[in-house]
Amino acid sequence: MPEEIPLFPDAASSLARDVDALFVAWSLISAFFTLLIAGLIVFFMVKYRRRGEHEVGLAERAPLWLETAWSIVPLAICLVMFGWGARVFYKLYRPPADAVEYWAVGKQWMWKFQHPAGNREINRLRVPVGRPVRLTMTSEDVIHSFFVPEFRTKQDVLPGRYTSVWFRATKPGTYKLFCTEYCGSEHSRMIGQVIALAPQDYERWLAGGVPGRSMTESGAALFQTLACDTCHLASPAAAAAAAGVGRAPRAPALDGVFGKQVALAGGRVVIAEENYLRESILQPAVKVVAGWTPIMPTYQGQVTEEQLNQLIAYIKSLGAATAAAGTESR
């Protein structure tokens, strides 16, 4: 039997209480005004009904204070709820700076996850309690949607681009993961689990896994295997060494590029985030960096989604690894 989403799921993340409070407040306000308006309609219908054939109603004008009140009060309520909702929205979609990045790929009809340490899981994601987790997600085929009711987090997972969601589990447990976007004939069976473990239990699970490379290490190896390092020099030091032997760089250096502004040919400026890096790998001629010739070949069809994730994780790590030395190297 397909799994059912509980009507009143537990609150098992740091965001769940905020979402619940907002939902309950809106429900109570809506119920109050629905009952008030419906009650007044019935009351006025009975009190001011026409009692005789020749009875004619008299025109009345509401006092100014009443007209002002029924305009200002709803406006004030809407503004307060808008501000409250915006605050919750920003908390839901702005992960904290110390969030640990995990990667997810949706596919008919399964979820594939990779941990920063390199551990892989299918339809099951283990996370430590109390640690903020940021999931960077994409799809291999159609639109999916990542939804864990107990965490009050939901985000569409799209083919050809990245989306993200974050959460901080607050208590150990096993929580159902649903795809809430119709994705084909087996959509209702695309069920997974997010398992929140105590930090020490999570570390034991990591240590007991199959030894392998981390996301960054896998990306670095792939960077060399695909010969990316023949054109993209990873750091200013590498660029200086290449210049010393008469080898001019043929593509921009990638050190510290993630999160920075990139000037493109034609005058546009973009931010080098995950979707820009993905597009630059698969369709390098679309957004050419100013001052460089578009000689990079496309890797469309040559790398899998998991390999793309590894390459991007490696490029992101270049900026993080050299942040402390960035001032001197520049």
Give me the residue spans of the domains in the chain. Answer: 1-50+95-212, 215-322
- pLDDT higher than 90, residue 135: yes
Report the percentage of the chain scoring pLDDT > 90: 59
169: nearest Cα among 148, 145, 139: 148
**Predicted TM-score of the model (pTM):** 0.80
- pLDDT higher than 50, residue 325: no
Instruction: State CA 224 to chain mean position distance.
Output: 29
Predicted local distance difference test score (pLDDT) of residue 324: 39
- pLDDT higher than 80, residue 234: no
Predicted local distance difference test score (pLDDT) of residue 176: 93
CATH of domain 1-50+95-212: 2.60.40.420
Report the percentage of the chain scoring pLDDT > 70: 89
**Type of residue found at 109:** W
Handedness of CA 275, 276, 282, 286 (dihedral sign): positive
Predicted local distance difference test score (pLDDT) of residue 67: 86
Confidence of residue 330 (pLDDT cuts 50, 70, 90): very low
Confidence of residue 3 (pLDDT cuts 50, 70, 90): low
- In this prediction, residues 242-247 reach a mean pLDDT of 54
Phi, psi of 13 (to 5 degrees): -135, 165
Predicted local distance difference test score (pLDDT) of residue 320: 57
Strands, sheet with 163-167, edge to edge from the N-terminal-most edge strand: 120-122, 110-114, 100-107, 133-139, 163-167
Residues in contact with 312: Cβ distance below 8 Å, sequence separation at least 6, in sequence order? 219, 274, 277, 278
- pLDDT higher than 60, residue 180: yes
Predicted local distance difference test score (pLDDT) of residue 240: 56
Decide if 255 contacts 235 (C-beta within 8 A). yes
- As a whole number of angstroms, the distance between CA 106 and CA 179 comes to 9
- pLDDT higher than 80, residue 254: yes
Q: 64: part of which helix (H) or strand (E)?
A: helix 64-93
- pLDDT higher than 50, residue 161: yes
- As a whole number of angstroms, the distance between CA 136 and CA 256 comes to 20
Confidence of residue 235 (pLDDT cuts 50, 70, 90): low
Alpha helices in 96-177, H assignment, sequence order: none
Q: Would you tell me how many other CB atoms lie within 10 Å of the CB of residue 11?
A: 18
pLDDT tens digits, 41-52: 999 899 888 887
- pLDDT higher than 50, residue 229: yes
- As a whole number of angstroms, the distance between CA 31 and CA 232 comes to 60
pLDDT tens digits, 284-295: 889 899 888 888
- As a whole number of angstroms, the distance between CA 276 and CA 250 comes to 19
CATH of domain 215-322: 1.10.760.10
Residue 267 or 102, more confident: 102
Mean pLDDT computed over every residue of the chain: 87
- In this prediction, residues 303-307 reach a mean pLDDT of 91
Confidence of residue 251 (pLDDT cuts 50, 70, 90): confident
- pLDDT higher than 60, residue 1: no
- pLDDT higher than 70, residue 326: no
Distances, alpha carbon 243 to alpha carbons 95, 96, 128, 148, 247, in Å = 40, 40, 46, 52, 5
Residue 260 or 323, more confident: 260
Q: How many residues does the chain have?
A: 330
- In this prediction, residues 14-23 reach a mean pLDDT of 94
